[in-house]
Structure 1
Amino acid sequence: MIMPLLKKYNEYLLSINWKFPMMLWILIAFAAGAGAALFSYSTIALMAMEISPLLSLVIGFVVFDVIISYPYLLAMKRIAVIEENLPDAFKQIGDTLKAGGTFEYALRGVSTAEYGALSEEIDDMLRRLQEGENLENSLKGFAQDVDSKLVKRSVNIIIDSVKSGAGLADVLDKIADDIRALYRIDQERKSGTIMQVLFLVTASALVAPLILGMVSAILSFLIQAVATGADISKKLLLEAIATKNLIVTLMQAYVFIEVVATSAMIAIMREGKVTKALIFMPILLLIAYIVYYLAVYAVTAMLGEL
């Protein structure tokens, strides 16, 4: 389970020419996350703040996640650029073939055009052809270098069409039209799920932390009021405080789990990939815990005036 994920992550790092080796980068992220967690825990302890140590773990996780996700985000951005420019590149290759040019000449035209990362991949494919590889292996190498279902599907269609004797120029034109249609459908899907995403974000990162923060503050106030205004044993008071702390910790853990689940749902709805949750998770976690503690301090301040 872990090894395939590490292999895939390493492929993302290689695709963007990341300067750090994978294991070194993971160690840097882990060290930064642990350092942030220890620093926040020390700050909370020194300032005697009424904040659960769980927040230190959350801060450490967010720092680790941000560092790990940054190269992944760059790789995803690169893939998006390739997919966006793929129809125009196929159209250009098809027009060149129809004008009597060779496939190699058409690839050279695309590699020198301003297609960003796609021009770099086409240049690599052109180099394979010049080194003696056949068209099929060069296309498969291109599909393997780009972690995109759209690219792999398009390459398979091209290879099957060439094997069946179909005209490559016509095939590329049809694939370009299909990719544009798929891209338009994907954009419509994203725009059509905005309200659902806003609802999930509001519920998980704003409303739930706000309510749970208010409940935490009210629990503390009630226990303090009973302790000062009622004649109860010290043992019973300590049990009540321990129970309150357990409930507060469980509520904070619930906020964490809820945000992680929400990030996964948003990633599936918006991007179709659960791994994109790594992008949404740090932002939502920070918002959720900021709202939670703002609610705790606001309600505590209001109850303190009673």
Structure 2
Amino acid sequence: MKKMPRRLSSLSTRLIERLIPKMWLKRYEVFIYSAGINFLAVEYLVVSFLVGIIGALVVDLFLTKLYALAAFLALFLGMAFGYPYWKITKRIEEMEKMLPDAFFYLASSLRAGISFSEALEELTTAKFGALTEEFKKTVAEIKKGRSTVEALRAFAIRNRKSTVIYRSMMIIIEAIERGAPMSDILVFVGNDVREILRIKKERKASTGMQVMFFIVTSGFIGPLILGIVSQVMGAMSTGEITFPIDTIKTILLGFVVLQAIVSGLGIGVIREGKFSAGLKYSLLLVVMGVVIFQGASNFQIGGL
């Protein structure tokens, strides 16, 4: 009996390796590695697939196969891409928050009279969260014989998803290559990063009402109204006037999902200035919208 799960797992990994090109698997492995997930790409895809299957089987017990398929896709995509993306986003946010303090720490060490490489090594003993781990990788590469500039460039490339980190590291690399006074450059860049983060924070605070409007309308009020409309149309079906209720419900549900996706992408643009940032909001609104729509369309209102 113990060999069955192992055989199933090995068959699944072989199937995924055959279906997905190696180049894509390598990119996906870098993606989950950046998220701090200690799985091979194939293994994590198998886990995500199994989570989707289990969720679909549970939904199939209570709803139709269409909803089971939707549950599978939502759980699989959420596990395979949503969760790693969320972890990467949180990690980047933590690193960006700590970056100014790390630069000020480096500047104070340089002013104490030590070299830049020694200051980097000293930085690895400080507590800057995920940023400290990145600097540890950089110091380890320098000790293996890589130049300081190349090690810092690798640091920037690893964290290219953050324009703040990438831009800051490239400025520092250029300053090292030109022989500029590093302590002054580090203080300047640290203050610049702090100002950028302040502007980002103000932007999120100023767009809070718009985001709440999208969430309430697309995740609650809209699905609730459409669910009640489908129920009213079902109650209006008589011998003389009949409506294809199942078809109408499917169309309305599709509209709820489409509205949720578009609203989520809109939130991403408003809040963070890019569509990709809205995918997490889209997923949240889709789940909210479907649950509210189903509840409203199945809840028996008095007299209907």
TM over 0.5: yes
Q: How many residues align structurally?
A: 282
Q: Which residue of structure 1 lines up, in the alignment, with residue 205 of structure 2? A: 191
Q: Tell me how far apart the structure 2 counterparts of residues 126 and 19 of structure 1 sit (CA, whole Å).
A: 22
| Residue 51 (structure 2) aligned to one of 25, 29, 32 | 32
Q: What is the Cα-based RMSD across aligned positions, in Å?
A: 2.3
Tell me, yes or no, if structure 1 residue 131 matches structure 2 residue 150: no
Q: Tell me how far apart the structure 2 counterparts of residues 6 and 150 of structure 1 sit (CA, whole Å).
A: 28
Q: List per-residue Cα deviations over 1:123-178 (Å, max 9, x = no partner).
A: 11112222222221011011122232111111111122233332111111100000
Contact 1:33 1:62 in 2 (8 A): yes
* 1:197 partner letter: V
Shift of 1:213: 0.5
Q: Which residue of structure 1 lines up, in the alignment, with residue 285 of structure 2? A: 284
- CA change 1:249–1:16 in 2 (3 A) is closer
- CA change 1:10–1:278 in 2 (3 A) is farther
Instruction: Give the TM-score normalised by structure 1.
Output: 0.84
Q: Tell me how far apart the structure 1 counterparts of residues 98 and 24 of structure 2 sit (CA, whole Å).
A: 28
Q: Greater RCO between the two (CA within 8 Å, min separation 6)?
A: 1
Q: List per-residue Cα deviations over 1:213-246 (Å, max 9, x = no partner).
A: 01100111111xx12xx5xxxxxx8xx45x3322
- CA change 1:31–1:275 in 2 (3 A) is farther
Alignment of 1:1-306 (within 5 A): 8-44=27-63, 53-68=65-80, 69-147=82-160, 148-223=162-237, 226-227=238-239, 230=240, 240-241=242-243, 243-298=244-299, 300-304=300-304
- Aligned to 1:302, the other structure's residue is in SS state coil
Q: List per-residue Cα deviations over 1:97-135 (Å, max 9, x = no partner).
A: 112111122112211100011111111111222222222
Shift of 1:303: 2.8
The percentage of counterpart residues that share the same residue type is: 29
Structure 2 segments unaligned to the other structure (5+ residues): 1-19
Instruction: Give the TM-score normalised by structure 2.
Output: 0.84
Q: List per-residue Cα deviations over 1:187-209 (Å, max 9, x = no partner).
A: 00111110010011111111210
* 1:217 partner letter: Q
Between Structure 1 and Structure 2, whose CA radius of gyration is higher? 1
Shift of 1:28: 2.4
Q: List per-residue Cα deviations over 1:17-67 (Å, max 9, x = no partner).
A: 42222232223223322332243123236xxxxxxx543333223322332
- Aligned to 2:39, the other structure's residue is in SS state coil
- Higher alpha-carbon deviation: 93-102 or 173-182: 93-102
- Higher alpha-carbon deviation: 254-263 or 184-193: 254-263
Shift of 1:272: 3.5
Q: Tell me how far apart the structure 1 counterparts of residues 156 and 116 of structure 2 sit (CA, whole Å).
A: 17
Q: Tell me how far apart the structure 2 counterparts of residues 273 and 81 of structure 1 sit (CA, whole Å).
A: 20
